[in-house]
Amino acid sequence: MTPAILQSSAWLLLLASCNLVASSTSSHSRDESVFAESYDYIIVGGGTSGLVVANRLSEDSTKTVLVIEHGLIDNSSLTLIPRLGLQYFPNNVKNWNYVSAPVETLLNATFNVYIADVVGGSSLHNGMFADRGSKADYDAWGALIGDDTWSWEGLYPYFIKSTTFTPPSEELKTHFDIRNNALGYGNGPIQISYPTVIFPDYRNQTLAAEAFGIEISDAPESGDAIGFCWVPQTLDPKTGFRSHSRVAYYDPIASRSNLQLITGHSVEKILFDSNLTATGVKFTSVQTNQTHVVSARKEVILAAGAINTPKLLQLSGIGPRHALEAAGVEVLLDAPAVGANFQDHPVTYLRWNVTNLAFPNDATIAMNASYNASAWQEYITNHTGPYTQGTSPDAAFIPLSQLTSQSQEIIDQARAQNVSEYLPSIYLNSSALLKGYLAQRDIILDHFSRTDAAVIEIPIGTTGPGACAVEKPLSRGTITLSPSSPQSQPIINYHTFSSPTDSLLLTSCIRYVRSYYSSPLLTSYSPTEDFPGPAAQTDEEILAALISAGAIAPSFAHPSGTCALGKRELGGCVGKDLLVHGVRKVSVVDASVIPIIPATHLQLTVYAVAEKAGDVIKGRV
């Protein structure tokens, strides 16, 4: 870890830089103890999506907006300096400290669930991957809900609106053959760029991928996120800092008189009248436990994320009857879709030993004190160099037909599976959820047969592939209240690999990576498989080796889908207008609404959804 090998003088410079970082961002100085009795809009959650919507709604000076956020503002270097955020993850920001329910298929292990408890949310807490899914990923949404405005063509303008792209230097672009479409970006608040240093072996990995048959995408941000994709970061090239939701969307407009942010408060309940129309919220100070009630004249907007948004709806009496009754919550509306459809990208991290890496490489900054001190000096002096790099600047997104020669067999097996054998019980008790899932499965299996839709992501570092992530899981999880303590963390049930198809995708990826490492252009690295190890050959052996070593995580930190877009009769929680079915004046604008998880990291997708949500909400009559 960097501080451990920094010389004491450099460490003092790091501490001094914290003051520089803090002074470079807008302060939040409004008296939070003074607030109005009512606002036009109340936004629950000042994270990645909530601050986007707050910005757009408060553009109308005649409308008042209140944002209530559990976390506080964090201006520390660990949130803004890319390399430090990566090295100290997940402790670079305060977390909710949630833990999953035991995952039966993973030896009943439990897993930490990383959700940032800070203003700006997980946009301060991620790997800074600034990618988008393929056109097919988002067209699947439109097909599922029967509305093209939620397809690629409907979302693409909001991908553009939310971002500004600064291309890499001509030297980096030419040497590494970096390919992006600058027209896929606009003049938006989120700054997208590449680190100023890319390590030499990335060029070899690009050449090896192409020789192996992985096509290099010319425009991954424009709907062609298939094959080897160069991926920029949410990085402000002018400052060298992470570009996140708060510095991009809130800090520049924090002085608006019609916008108020209250931090350090927890919303306990949405308040409804007898007609199930939301009238406001009840919220409590985390520090003093003092409770307040504030009214919403137009709408309560939920932006608490895919774990806490369904939790709040359930605490408010909107959710699956059995879960609410078990927690002692009065049932206002039996809504099985609230907390169902939980999706993430299960992932295994790979271990291969390689030699003859160029200097420097991904490991140098942590292993070489002299290089690290020099890199740090460059960063604090010029805000350039290796400390501007978060995660690797590339990844391969692989269709099933390229992943394995057994693609048709996998499709046939998935179609023949009895879904009642692997879906959570709530699906079997709700005809709407079951119909909706079967519609999802048809779309996903169609993607399995296509070459323009990925089923696996393989991030590629200087040492080669670093992970296999399942991008189109058929398993579904649930989020429900804890019966014994409903106000505490909910029960987070991933149900990872409940569908055996998902594990087949993972083991196919292991074999694919083995073939990749055996390609001629990588022989100079003398790659040897450390884990799961060459002795594991069959699907069962590979999976058993991964599971027994605890090498599979149910989450790539991409929780989504728990208040999904969709028709009510197909298990949808919110309609195309983002309003929650069955109640009035409550909408959802975060990753909860994603109906089918796309083959991408979710950050830019959430920004696009939130930008679209701002227009949808402003357009209500």
Three-state helix/strand/coil letters over 268-324 = EEEEECCCCEEEEEEEEECCCCCEEEEEEEEEEEECCHHHHHHHHHHHCCEECHHHH
- Check whether 538 is labelled as a binding-site residue: no
The partner residues of 284 in beta bridges, in order of sequence, read 266, 291
- Check whether 496 is labelled as a binding-site residue: no
Residue with tokens 């690797």: 392
Q: Which of 475, 373, 345, 369 has the alpha carbon at shortest distance from 422?
A: 475
107: left (phi over 0), alpha (psi -120 to 50) or beta: left
DSSP helix/strand/coil, 514: helix
- CB distance 235 to 194 below 8 Å: yes
Q: Tell me how far apart the alpha carbons of residues 307 and 117 are, in angstroms, rounded to a whole number.
A: 12
Q: Give the H/E segment covering residue 66.
A: strand 65-68
Phi, psi (degrees; rounded to nearest 5) at 548: -65, -30
How many beta carbons lie within 10 A of that of residue 110, not counting itself?
Answer: 13
Residue with tokens 């019966």: 483
Q: What are the structure tokens assigned to 157, written together?
A: 């303008």
CA 169 to each of CA 99, 175, 193, 237: distance values in angstroms, whole numbers, following the listed order: 43, 10, 10, 11
**Residue 558 among the catalytic residues:** yes
Residue with tokens 């606002």: 39
- Check whether 118 is labelled as a binding-site residue: yes
Exposure of 618 by Cβ count < 10 A (0-12 exposed, 13-18 middle, 19+ buried)? Answer: middle
**Residue 447 among the catalytic residues:** no
**Options 125, 244, 558, 581, the catalytic residue:** 558
Exposure of 109 by Cβ count < 10 A (0-12 exposed, 13-18 middle, 19+ buried)? Answer: middle
- Check whether 267 is labelled as a binding-site residue: yes
CA 359 to each of CA 3, 204, 258, 356, 365: distance values in angstroms, whole numbers, following the listed order: 21, 13, 53, 9, 10
DSSP helix/strand/coil, 587: strand
**Options 244, 383, 581, 601, the catalytic residue:** 601
DSSP helix/strand/coil, 549: coil
Residues forming the active site: 558, 601
Residues annotated within the binding site are 48-49, 118, 267
Residues annotated within the binding site for FAD are 48-49, 118, 267
